[in-house]
Structure formats: C-alpha cells, structure tokens
Structure 1
Amino acid sequence: MSILAKAVGGLFPDGVGVAVMAIGAASDAWPDEAGAMANAVPHRRREFAAGRAAARAAMTAAGLMPAAIPMAADRAPVWPAGVVGSITHAADVALAVAAPQAVARGLGLDMEPDAPLPGDVLSEICDGDECAWIAGQVQPLRWARVIFVAKEAAFKCQYPASATIFGFDGMSVQVDTAHNALVARFTRAIPPFAKGDALQGRFALTGGQIVAGFCRPGARAVN
C-alpha cells in the first residue's frame, strides 16, 4: 500500500475501502460513465477515468462488486444502490473511498497541495472563530488550507443526505492538531441536519498533500 493510501485509510473506520490511481494510468471510463466527458479536454477525461477506476478499486477493497459510477446532473457521482463513496483529485493522482451503507451513510474525501491558502480568499472560507484560531497558528495560511479541505470533504459527506449546495458559511470547522481530528458543525439548518449538528472527521499532512476525510457511520460501522 502506498504511503498516501495508508494515510487516507487512517482517516476512516474499518470497512471503508481506499484506493489511489495515478492520473493517466487508468483505462477509459466505462460506457455508462463516458458521456459525462464527451466535451471535456483530454486531461479532464484522464482525471475522470482515474477517479472512476480508483472508486471501483475502493469498492473492491470494501468487499463490493465494482460497477459503473455515472455523473448526475448536479455533477455528483451516482454510486450503485447500497454503496456510498467519495472521489477527489490533486496533483497527478485520484483518490477514492467506498463502503456499504451498513458501514457508512456518507463519506467525504478531499485533497489539496500542502501550501498556504491565498490570504485574499480567507474571508470567503472562514468565519470569525475560524479566522481567530488560524491567526494563532505558527503557519496560519497553511492551517487555513486545512480548514478549506475539511469543509470540502464535510460537504461531500453530507450531500447524499441533504442534496443541498451551500457556501463555506454553512459549516464551521474545529481542528484538533494534537489528534489530527476535525469537527464540522452546521451553522444553520440544512435538512435533514439541524443547526449545530456535527460531522466527525480526520486529516493528514502527507507527501506534500493535505487530505481530509469525514464519515457518517452506518448501522454496522466498525471502529
């Protein structure tokens, strides 16, 4: 297992499959998926194919049968019935996680280069409490990037339940640097989530990347 795959695996409970695929190393997208990329540039088609290949490998790692993962009208992956998952891309790799719904009701995965977040977008990403916490860190804009990645991952995790698109102000993230833990809390009601409801996650700084993962446990999740 690659260092990156091992790091991602550590973000999620047992029963969640993890896979990494180099962009350009995967075969073409499956026929039921390819239509979404009909007008895409070559790099985007390679990125998409790598993400879908990683997703199928993650399904296999979770003990599931691999299947096509089309793109919905809202551009979200359409996972097979009874399966949840998440896909992300950064640099030259695609990452994916997948699990049966008995293990997880939602999964969220995101990755960005481990680099400072541009200061001019900080106010768009963070609320007052987050900005105050960031200002107290040794590398404030690096930790701002962690919050950005965490919010992206948390959004993906909740989306299958809410089917609602909202901005960065819809959640506030707390970072526990001692335990690499994350809490994303809803700042307003986004049904079925109430204001104050929280998602639990974790993050890793590895191989020049920041990776964050969130999981909504299912009925038979194993820690």
Structure 2
Amino acid sequence: MISADRSPIWPAEVVGSITHSSKLAAAAVSSKGHGIRAIGFDIEELTPLADELIEEICLESERLWLQSQPAATRGLLAKAIFSIKEAVYKCQFPLTLEMFGFERVRVEPDLRRNSFTAHFTEKVGAFCPEAPLFGKIWIAEQHIFSLLVLR
C-alpha cells in the first residue's frame, strides 16, 4: 500500500525502502526489533546525469569535486550524487515527513570504498547539519545502488 504522499506504508514493526529503474525493482526491509529506525535505498541506471540538471542537484562543493574528476566520468559521478541524495531523502522522510530539495543535503562519495558521507545543510526534523550520515554505494549491473540505514 502507498500513502497519499506516495510513500510506502509498512506494517508497524517494519521499516523499509523501495526503489526501481526501468529494468530493476528492489526493496530493503528490516524489523524495527533489529534496532533499525529507517532505511533509504535508491537504484539509478548507469547513465550520465544530464548537464542541465547538475547545477540543480549538486551543491557548489559537489560541483567542485566533480570538476576534479576525469571529464569522461563526471556525468556518471553526478548521477551517483543524485542517487545518494535520493537514498538520504527516502531514509529521513518516514522520520520527519519533510519534503525538500537537493540543496538540503551535501554528499561526499568515496567510490573506492563503496561508501558516502552525507550532511544536511540545515536542521531537518531531528537531523542536525553537523551530524554525518554514513552509507554505501555500489556500481554494478549497469546500475548505481545507494543505501543508508539509520539505527
């Protein structure tokens, strides 16, 4: 079932996140009894993010990081930033019920370690800007997978 805001409705003892691309669909689900408060999961096809979307999605610090990367990979890395921000958004929403734009999350991908750090740029619910969130990111099967689990 889905709610009026299109977010999934989980049984009371369950947390989870659903995602899909045109070729894959997936869910990450856990019992709250395992100490997990929220999950954010995103899948994106491994295609470059359109140049005209980079400024809308990426903060200045993220665009500077992109500029330091090889030109041939920048569009794909921008798509990875988008995927991470989607996972962060999906993770926080069940806890805060706040909708917001891409400018509210700053991310630092570390693709060599298949990880990322994310920070809110301002207070969102109980989330403070100085508190880092640590997640995982993988590139496989022509997709980008981003996952954030909050305990």
Would you call these one fold, judging by a TM-score over 0.5? yes
Unaligned residue ranges in structure 2 (runs of 5+):
none
Q: Which residue of 2 aligns with 1:86?
A: 17
Q: Which residue of 2 aligns with 1:185?
A: 119
- The correspondence for 1:213, drawn from 143, 147, 151, is 147
Q: Which residue of 2 aligns with 1:117?
A: 49
Q: Does 1:106 align with 2:34?
A: no
Distance 1:102 1:193 in 2: 22
Q: Does 1:160 align with 2:94?
A: yes
- The correspondence for 1:132, drawn from 51, 57, 64, is 64
1:74 Cα deviation (Å)? Answer: 1.0
Q: Which residue of 1 aligns with 2:110?
A: 176
1:196 Cα deviation (Å)? Answer: 2.2
* Structure 1 consecutive aligned stretches of length 4 or more whose deviation exceeds 6 Å: none
List per-residue Cα deviations over 1:67-107 (Å, max 9, x = no partner).
xxx11111110100111000001122210010011331110
User: Secondary structure of 1:173's match?
Assistant: strand
The percentage of counterpart residues that share the same residue type is: 34
Under a length normalisation based on structure 2, what TM-score does the superposition of the two structures give? 0.94
- The correspondence for 1:146, drawn from 65, 75, 80, is 80
Under a length normalisation based on structure 1, what TM-score does the superposition of the two structures give? 0.65
User: Secondary structure of 1:129's match?
Assistant: helix
Larger Rg over CA atoms: 1
1:61-76 matches, within 5 Å, as 70-76=1-7
List per-residue Cα deviations over 1:28-67 (Å, max 9, x = no partner).
xxxxxxxxxxxxxxxxxxxxxxxxxxxxxxxxxxxxxxxx
1:177 Cα deviation (Å)? Answer: 2.1
